[in-house]
Amino acid sequence: MASRSAAAQQAIEGLRELAGEARSAPEVFRTADRLLRGVLEFDAVCWHTTDPATGWVTSVLSDDLSLDRFHDAVRLEVWHDDVTTFPQIRRSGLRADTLTRATRGRPETSMRFREQIAPAGFGDEMRTVFDTQGGMWGCAAFMRAPDRGPYLGRQRDLADAAARHIGVALRACHTAAAWSDPTDQAPATVVLGPSNTLVAADERARKLLAELVDDAHTALSVPTAFTLASEHARRAACGIPVSQAMVRVRNRDGRWFVLHASLLDGLADGHVAVVASPASPAQTMPLYLAAHGLTCREQEVALYAIRGYDTKEIARVLAMTPYTVQDHLKAVFGKAGVTSRRELIAQVVLGGHPAP
């Protein structure tokens, strides 16, 4: 690959520095926009946070695009097996791909191009997934005007490199665990109509809806995560397999909620109830460990330690020596910012409260 231009290298260095700072997801996205817009030569971008475990989109941020038809975009993502979907890119092992490359120069064969990209006045789209160290922390779609021509290979390579640093920066947003009051675990419920418009919400749900940062909230009437959960329930009702039955989402305070959707009248085009329950430590534990940059092996060791296994038991279960277990535990403690198993359990299971 040809050496990067000075401007491209400067952008990568800026993203590398960004990965070492503690920022919110919107701050990460806007800084990445400023660093990359000139070198990737895009005219519009749509940034997304995701459920790190499933890769499902949970929010959208865009200063360039009208989100009036974002509901159509959601349906296209859920129902149609188009090229360069975020899951496809993730499964391919790449972090970036372009519509023109994936269609061999015939973007008009893509339903997304015909129904959204071209009508909006764009000629090519490049998508990236911010997938790193055990989770997919976000994704983005970059559009450019037809007169710029298709994205070049060097720009796709640059986006691939940039995505790794953006993923690390987004991962850092998840290292501070925030926990709900254990005495206040009641779920929140919303009811969505056939077009996923908000029909009803209980008091807890109205509060949660206001706490989710999402540009699409106004266009969809509810945040993106609720619409995605609803559409996946509708898809499942039509007999189309859904890989995951739940989606995790965080509010402004960093608290995790798990969304489950079900059809109220059994009809795919009917009403859907989406229930948001405060996530349990068991549901967020893998995300917490991944957010601290633990390797897969370190996560395995940490999970057994949290369950109360001693060093010899962990060594037996994972077929390693006790000395190797101790080495992994030392790395786990260092990355999680604790000094003992007791402190690790307090952080991951008890939300920072000392174990009795």
* pLDDT over threshold 50, residue 206: yes
Percent pLDDT > 70 in the chain is 94
Q: What is the pLDDT of residue 175?
A: 76
Tokens of 355: 């174990």
What is the average pLDDT value for the chain, to the nearest integer? Answer: 89
Domain made up of 6-172: CATH architecture: 2-Layer Sandwich (3.30)
Tokens of 348: 């991951």
Percent pLDDT > 90 in the chain is 63
The pLDDT tens digits for 62-112 are: 999 988 888 889 988 889 889 999 999 998 888 999 999 999 999 999 999
Q: What is the pLDDT of residue 281?
A: 79
pTM equals 0.87
Q: What is the pLDDT of residue 354?
A: 43
More confident residue, 242 or 264: 264
Task: Indicate the SS3 state at residue 329.
Answer: helix
Q: What is the pLDDT of residue 7?
A: 93
Could you give the CA distance from residue 179 to residue 280 in angstroms, rounded to a whole number? 9
Name the nearest CA neighbour of 108 among 93, 125, 92, 96.
125
- Residue 228 pairs in a beta bridge with none
Q: What is the pLDDT of residue 181?
A: 54
For the ranges 16-20, 24-28, 40-44, 290-294, the one whose mean pLDDT is highest: 40-44
Give residues with Cβ within 8 angstroms of 47, minimum separation 6: 29, 32, 33, 60, 61, 62, 138, 140
Q: What is the pLDDT of residue 213?
A: 78
* pLDDT over threshold 80, residue 244: no
Q: What is the pLDDT of residue 2?
A: 47
Select from 3.40.50.1000, 3.40.640.10, 1.10.10.10, 3.30.460.80 the CATH code of 294-348: 1.10.10.10
Fold of 188-282: Beta-Lactamase (3.30.450)
Q: What is the pLDDT of residue 1?
A: 43
* pLDDT over threshold 90, residue 45: yes
The mean pLDDT value for 310-316 works out to 95
Q: What is the pLDDT of residue 356?
A: 44
For the ranges 248-252, 346-350, 352-356, the one whose mean pLDDT is highest: 248-252
Q: Which of 172-181, 202-211, 243-252 has the lowest mean pLDDT?
A: 172-181
DSSP letter string, 110-138? SHHIIIIITTTT-SEEEEEEEEETTEEEE
The pLDDT tens digits for 149-158 are: 999 999 999 9
Domains 6-172 and 188-282 share a fold: yes
Domain boundaries, the chain: 6-172, 188-282, 294-348
Confidence of residue 252 (pLDDT cuts 50, 70, 90): confident
Confidence of residue 286 (pLDDT cuts 50, 70, 90): confident
Could you give the CA distance from residue 67 to residue 47 in angstroms, rounded to a whole number? 12
Strand 135-144 and strand 44-50: the pairing is antiparallel
